[in-house]
Structure 1
Amino acid sequence: MAAQFGRRLRKGAATTAVAALAVAALSASQGPGATADDQGGRPATTGAETSPEAAAGTGGATGNSPYYTDLPPLNSPSPSPTIGTPASRGDTATEAGIPATVLDAYKKAASELRSAKPGCNLPWELLAAIGKVESGQARGGQVDANGDTTSAILGPQLDGNGFALIKDTDNGAYDGNSTYDQAVGPMQFIPSTWAWAARDGNGDGEKNPNNIYDAALAAGHYLCRFGWDLSTQADLNSAILSYNHSQDYLNTVLSWLEYYRKGTHEIPDGTGSLPGNRSDDNDSATVTPSPTPPPSVKPSPKPQKPETGTPSPKPPSTTPPSTTPPSTPATPTDTVDHLEDAGTAKLTAQAGDAFTERVSTRAETKAGAAVAKVRIRFTIVGTTDATFTGGESVATVVTNSTGVAVAPALQAGEKTGTFTVRATVVGRSISGLDYTATVAERAADTLTRTSDTALTCVPGGEFAEQVEVKATYDGEVADKVAATATLIKSALDPTANDKGPYFKDADGTTVRTLTGLETDANGVLKLPKLYADDTTGTFMLRITTAGGAALNVTLTVAAAETSSPSPSASPSA
């Protein structure tokens, strides 16, 4: 972890004993067979390494950099507090809260992994647990709307002095150190790992280890390599150990994973609690100090050299450290007063189709000015199986230079009716903006026969050809459209006929109306066989669909024609 996270806190024997007791159960029941040496709880070589990185001694994603050892509260998370409510350090609700943008990044990364590597079964709570022990959730959510940390997060230089020895691999490009590597960003990747694990998680075209979206997605892919299935305990342990090969690290991450699984909630960015204890507090290494003192601490001025013959002046008094946290400049999110509709058209679609219109929202100040670079969260609310493109019910979009965020396209499911798309500002508790969307039943506007063969039958017989029609809507195939077939009295009298052609049900009973029919994937509907009673004449079959399409099909029942006998030969003369 970065030295600027705070002054090192020396833990006494009592604290160490408490931590040991807290993780003992996890160590016994879940931890792999690794032993710990005296280097801050890092495992000694046992021949049981779980990944190529560990076997090669590279220390996984972080280079075995220090991490926060604080354990979650013993009590389960409390119900979500009201946003903006002051919270004290160590409070259960505070510990369970995750800054809005950071939480969004974890969930977005897990969602992408569900599509990219479905067999991995990565829970977003695992990313949250690792983010907690690596950086205290990006220093309590000190990130902007794009997910960039407000300042770089750097671990100590890995110079072999109490840490692994990893000489510079990036010429200082990521960590600013051209001599030794340092873990970088909220997920604490060492540069050599970031070089191949990097991902662009927020779609800005960059792969930045100090961006929580990029780092969370990279961490997800890192944990899902080697075909691991994180729903199994053995693979979960292996993945966590490959991130930082330490038994204590495994137990700490598992503790936070279990805690977050019991419940968590969103809190405003920058209001998260910071851990206080780190894994390097008990070893002899000296953490590399921050290049610049924290803003709240003023360095003591140097005493002036006394002039000859004059009494020595009293040393100047030093300004005590300020107890008031430094003021942070207002972010674009802070200036948002309300959301306005940005010209969203009527949202309607047939079941199974994509909506042609998209939800568009504008973030504005109190004066009505546009606010750019604000994260807008779109959430599908209500009893529906509609989703955004990609199968998700939640999507987050950053407003553009005109303050507008356009949600991904909506995809209708099979459930008809109305639902709501709610737009809210990530990190703010201002009122959301609701949009109503409607899913109508599948429909057809045209029906045509797939054959032009005349449909005829003799009395008491069966028609040789089954009736088959194709349904379309606006010229496109209309699949899964509900249909009804009825043998009617005439084109002018659509009531069911009581004589003439008929269908049979499973018991062989005469049926002249069929309901619950549905076109197939190609829009085709093939009716059951038709039979004729003893009545001759011309009859009508009407087929109708949802949406108003209708087609009348003529059926003819007539006696078979008899051939004339051949004339007999004339008698011989």
Structure 2
Amino acid sequence: MAAHIGRRLRKGAATTAVAAAAVAALSASQAPGAAVGDHGRTSAADAQPAPDAGGSDQGGATGNSPYYTDLPPLNSPNPAPSASAGAGTPVAQGAAEAGIPATVLDAYKKAEAELAASKPGCNLPWQLLAAIGKVESGHARGGRVGADGTTTSRILGPQLDGDGFALIKDTDNGRYDGNSSYDQAVGPMQFIPSTWAWAGRDGNGDGLKDPNNVYDAALAAGHYLCRYDWDLSAQGDLDRAILSYNNSSEYLATVLSWLEYYRKGTHEIPDGTGGVPSGRSDDGRTGSVVPRTPVLPTTPSTPTTPSRPSTPSTPSTPSKPSTPPTTTPPTTPPTTPPPTPTDTVDHLADAGTAKLTARAGDAFTKRISTRAETEAGKAVGKVRIRYTITGDTDTVFTGGESVATVTTDASGVAVAPALKAGEKTGEVVVRATVVGRTVTGLDYHATVTERTADALVRTGDTALTCVPGGGFADRVELRATYKGAVADRVGATATLVTSADDATETTAGPYFKDADGKPVRTLTGLATDAKGVLLLPELFADDTEGTFLLRVTTAGGATVTVELKVAAADASPSPSASPSA
């Protein structure tokens, strides 16, 4: 219905303002509570950005590029085709808007499955990816994709040159969008290159991260929406995630409308047979627009008849100038766009970052702060700072990314998302650079230390005894903690020591067995499990009797000493049987 209304408005004499009002009315009717404004854009006054924009570009995944404003029908889609219908049985296909091209639909559902496994707390529904895919590209221009999910031609948004759109100068040297001057949103999910650089994923397993591949783009969009540990089953987090994709209240209303529509039912249609939306949020705007889809011609209105130039009257005595006057056309000086904040940045400075240290697996309590400055040391706001974790490390930013982009505030400071230490210990380097400008990067050094425990205790108090040449019936089980919390995956060493005052390995008494069954009295490479429990292998005894000590030490210095006894069985005779009567 929305598409039909949009077409009627465009074919008639209605102005752009009338069309925008109609779209606003439809949006308000289907997404109550969502504010709708001019041409699907939003001003700073009505913007509803996600709290904590760290880790994303200022304009979200798309750089706030234009999108399709067509809305779903007011009626619910008909049920999907029945899988049990026999051959030749007519099957209701549902409303045309409920059809999603097969490969594109498969990409959305595969992305949902991958996110359900990797980030189950996000609760990402594939219908949300479908809603965004519909709004961004009309499901890859109606499913015009190859068998591997790559679009038959690139899908590009307008160049973001500041003329009616955001100003984002080239960040990828034209690698993704073919534009070495300005960035353009790319692919079926419309990522700008600077965001794809860290958000890109390989969704079809071909070893590439291609924004023009619907499997790659859908998986990247899923991770982008789930990057802040949002729970998308909660309306507040759902709204924040959508707004982080494109910071516009009208965009939010449009996506939510399609989300609810797809939740009521969809069906699969062949690739390439889907329709392309007609309404766009940049209709009537100026700017160097590169259409994202082929535009079908509409019926033109009857043009006015151009006036013919009047036939000049012939003078009775024509005079021909002997020498034609030389005229010099006035030259229009080229307009030089005013410098952007990024153009004024001379260097980056540390903004008071504290020492960065964390145990393996823990989150760093301190965050990196960077200040963008001019040559004179003046702060520069609204500059995008990209943080990249370099080197061979599994340390990441919160959300699992190794790259994050943050915009400086009015004081010129950008604060990176929190770091989460991986399992690899040692130094981690995070480099800060300015997006869109060649400025010497600023390196930050963080240290990941090994997991430790400060307390270690036995989980039971049963005496550990054995006869010479036998095996201990009970195994030694210990529990490690750190500041009262479970100390999981903490390294430990177990040694049969000579005495309480001599920690050297004993040469007699109880022992463990190695893989070949040979006696060993020191075990290294042990580690507590996810519950902080350490269960030692079975212990055996040689022929030496006595009391022996087993000492277990963890990383961090927690120690416990366990007493082991080896003694012969009680040989006293049993009472004799009573004499017979």
TM-score norm. by structure 1 comes to 0.52
CA distance in 2, matches of 1:518, 1:469: 11
Paired residue total:
369
Structure 2 equivalent of residue 495 of structure 1: 504
Paired residues of 2:177 and 2:183 also in contact (CA < 8 A): no
What is the CA distance between 1:354 and its match in structure 2? Answer: 1.2
Task: Name the counterpart of 2:384.
Answer: 375
Which residue identity does 1:504 align to in structure 2?
K
SS state at 2:343 partner: helix
How do residues 355-370 of structure 1 correspond to structure 2 at under 5 angstroms? 355-370=364-379
Could you say what secondary structure the match of 1:495 adopts? coil
Equivalent residues in 2 for 1:109-508, closer than 5 Å:
124-125=211-212, 199-201=242-244, 206-207=248-249, 237=271, 241-244=274-277, 279=294, 285=300, 324-508=333-517
Structure 2 counterpart of 1:486, one-letter code: T
CA 1:457–1:235 in structure 2 vs 1: closer, same or farther (change >3 Å)?
Answer: farther
User: Aligned partners of 2:263, 2:199: CA distance in 1, in Å?
Assistant: 18
Alpha-carbon contact 2:406-2:416 (below 8 Å) kept: yes
Describe the SS at the equivalent of 2:498.
strand
Give the letter aligned to residue 375 of structure 1: R
Correspondence for 1:52 among 96, 114, 119: 96
Measure, in 1, the Cα distance between the counterparts of 2:471 and 2:93.
75
Distance in 2 between the 1:236 and 1:52 partners? 12
CA distance in 2, matches of 1:442, 1:349: 9
Gaps of 5+ in 2: 1-9, 17-90, 101-133, 142-151, 155-168, 218-238, 279-286, 304-327
Q: CA deviation at 1:435?
A: 0.6
Q: Deviations 1:332-354 (Å, cap 9, x if unpaired)?
A: 22222221111111222222221
Counterpart amino acid of residue 243 in structure 2: D
Q: 1:507, CA displacement in angstroms?
A: 3.7
**Distance in structure 2 (CA, Å) of the matches to 1:63 and 1:539:** 74
What letter is aligned with 2:344? T
1:95 equivalent in alignment to 2:139: no
Alpha-carbon distance in structure 1 between the residues aligned to 2:354 and 2:274 = 50
Instruction: Tell me: CA distance 1:489–1:277, structure 2 relative to 1, closer, same or farther (3 Å).
Output: closer
**Shift of residue 384 of structure 1?**
1.1
C-alpha contact (below 8 Å) 1:50/1:242 kept by paired residues: no
| Cα pair 1:95 1:273 within 8 Å, conserved | no
> Does the Cα contact within 8 Å between 1:354 and 1:409 map onto a contact in 2?
yes
Amino acid at match of 2:300: A
Shift, 1:114, TM fit: 7.5
CA RMSD of aligned residues (A): 5.4
Query: 2:200 touches 2:211 (CA, 8 Å); kept in 1?
Result: no
For 1:396 and 1:410, how far apart are their aligned partners in 2?
14
- Percent identity, aligned pairs only, is 51
C-alpha separation in 1, matches of 2:242 and 2:532: 42
Whole-Å separation in 1 of the counterparts to 2:570 and 2:297: 107
Residue 275 of structure 1 deviates from its aligned partner by 5.1
Other structure's SS at 1:343 match: coil
Write the distance in 2 (CA, Å) between the matches of 1:198 and 1:498.
64
The Cα offsets for residues 468-502 of structure 1, whole Å up to 9 and x where unpaired, read as 11112232211111212111212232222121011
CA distance in 2: counterparts of 1:483 and 1:375, whole angstroms: 45
TM-score by length of 2: 0.51
- What CA deviation, in whole Å up to 9, does each residue of 1:213-263 have, x standing for no partner? x89x969x98x97899xxxxx99946x945449xxxxxxxxxxxxxxxxxx
Give yes or no for contact 2:177–2:185 (8 Å, CA) kept in 1.
Answer: no
CA contact (8 A) 1:478 1:519 kept: yes
Residue 541 in structure 1 maps to residue 556 in structure 2: no
Give the Å deviation of 1:413.
1.7
Q: Distance in 1 between the 2:370 and 2:419 partners?
A: 15
CA distance, structure 2, for counterparts of residue 336 and residue 473 of structure 1: 45
Tell me by how many angstroms 1:388 deviates: 0.8
Q: 1:446-484 CA deviation, whole Å, 9 max, x = no partner?
A: 211112222222222222221111112232211111212
The offset of 1:562, in angstroms, is: 5.1
Distance 1:350 1:280, change over 3 A: closer
Q: CA deviation at 1:563?
A: 5.3
Residue 368 of structure 2 contacts residue 416 of structure 2 at CA under 8 Å; is this kept in 1?
Answer: yes
